[in-house]
Structure 1
Amino acid sequence: MAFPKRKNIQPERQRERELLVVVGSKNPVKVQCTENGFQRAFGERHFIVEGLNINSEVRDQPFGDKETSLGAYNRAKNAKNTFPEADYWVGIEGGVEELNDEMAAYAWITIMDRNGKVGKSKTATFILPGAISKLISSGMELGEADDKVFDRENSKQGNGAVGMLTNGTIDRTEYYEQAVVLALIPFISEKLYK
């Protein structure tokens, strides 16, 4: 794998080296929300964020917290195994779960560092409309169901269900970004998470 080389930029004040963050997906939304989240959490640091096609080892459409969080964990772990030279590895996995007669959507985030520390978080949840829920229940993945209902193509690499359902008020990058920051809590408040 070819990643950009880290630059050793040394202005008048010596600056810390750039840190490499590998996301277990090449989805541009997941890469961008990771970059945004790391910059929000560690504004003084500089990061190179790259995505890799990584297997989640769960179904294309995970159901429930257990499977979805496992998918996020596997993406981070497998990214680490694939590119161990990085400083952080991030797994983001979108999932759904049935709540009585409705279906909720959300995502789990897992972040690992070189020292073996792991941070996890979950996005906010929202209820999917019946037309999308029915397609998912029949075996379709959420992104495919969104494309069919909204007559779009590859919406999961764009604003996703959350963006389309909120008329763009919350886009998918923003939706994941806050959860990336929350998964970074053990790295931000590291003295409390040993």
Structure 2
Amino acid sequence: MKICVASQNPVKIAAAREAFEKVFPESVCDVVALAAPSGVPDQPLGDNETLLGAQNRADYAQGEAQDCDFWVSLEGGIDVVGEQYFTFAWFVIQAADGRISRTRSMTLPLPGKVMQLVREGIELGYAFDQLYELKNSKHSDGAFGIITEGLHTRKSVYFDSLCCALMPFKNTVFQENI
């Protein structure tokens, strides 16, 4: 099974590989990484913009790596409910047979100091790096790992969400609707 991940971020690649291996243990997974443009700002705001970024990345990857069985994209974003800001991600998985699955991750409340930097134009990962004196946190535990003190990490949230996004391709109950 050949899988194209529409990113070169090692956390996204590892989460995708582990999710496919967990959901399809009988398959040998060949994972390739492809830098794919999102077509949205570096820091997507809101549900629609974040989902659009994920969809654009998946479409680009499918156009560029046509010999794959699946194309996977992950796009992190920020949303606001009332006065509270949250981070989350959208996942799009497209299959060679034309099926598409979309899933949204759990959300994580963001501290005001981080959002102040984001409102000044700094991408979320860099805002955390600046405030907590880290380097390239979005390629490691990310906001989830920092705020939950390792209880959840960017990779663990992505892995769980991707496993859910793969269910329409694995669970026969979805095939009744095709």
- TM-score past 0.5 threshold: yes
Counterpart mapping for 1:55-74 below 5 A: 55-74=37-56
The answer to whether the Cα contact below 8 Å between 1:186 and 1:193 also exists between their aligned partners in 2 is no
CA RMSD of aligned residues (A): 1.0
Aligned amino acid, residue 192 of structure 1: E
What corresponds to 1:15 in structure 2? none
- The answer on whether the counterparts of 1:37 and 1:180 sit within 8 Å (CA) in structure 2 is yes
Offset of residue 49 of structure 1 = 1.2
Please name the residue that 2:143 is paired with: 161
AA aligned to 1:67 is E
The whole-number CA distance in structure 2 between the counterparts of 1:169 and 1:179 is 16
SS in 2 for 1:139: coil
Tell me which amino acid in the other structure corresponds to 1:62.
P
What's the CA shift for 1:193? 4.2
SS at 1:77's partner residue? helix
Q: CA deviation at 1:152?
A: 0.7
CA distance in structure 2 between the partners assigned to 1:156 and 1:94 by the alignment? 10
Does structure 1 residue 111 correspond to structure 2 residue 93? Answer: yes
Report if aligned partners of 1:120, 1:182 keep a CA contact under 8 Å in 2: no
Taking only the aligned residue pairs, the percentage that are identical comes to: 35
User: 2:128: which partner in 1?
Assistant: 146
Structure 2: gaps of 5 or more residues? none
Match of 1:192 in 2: 176
Could you list the structure 1 runs, at least 4 aligned residues long, displaced by more than 4 angstroms after superposition: none
Q: Distance in 1 between matches of 2:29 and 2:157?
A: 21
Q: CA–CA distance in 1 between the matches of 2:128 and 2:31?
A: 27
1:96 to 78, 81, 84: 78
Residue of structure 2 aligned with 1:39, choices 3, 18, 21: 21
Matched residues, number: 176
Structure 1 residues 149-191: Cα deviation after superposition (integer angstroms, max 9, x where no partner): 1111111011101001111121211111011011112101241
Q: SS state of the match for residue 115, structure 1? A: coil
SS at match of 2:79: strand
User: 1:43-102 deviations in whole A, cap 9, x for unaligned?
Assistant: 111101121111011110001110101111111110010110111000100000122222
Q: Name the SS for the 2:90 alignment partner.
A: strand
Length-normalised TM-score, structure 2: 0.96
Contact 1:186/1:192 (<8 A) preserved: no
Question: Secondary structure in 2 aligned to 1:156?
Answer: helix
TM-score normalised per structure 1: 0.88
Whole-Å separation in 1 of the counterparts to 2:177 and 2:127: 39
Is 1:87 the counterpart of 2:76? The answer is no
Distance in structure 2 (CA, Å) of the matches to 1:29 and 1:150 = 20
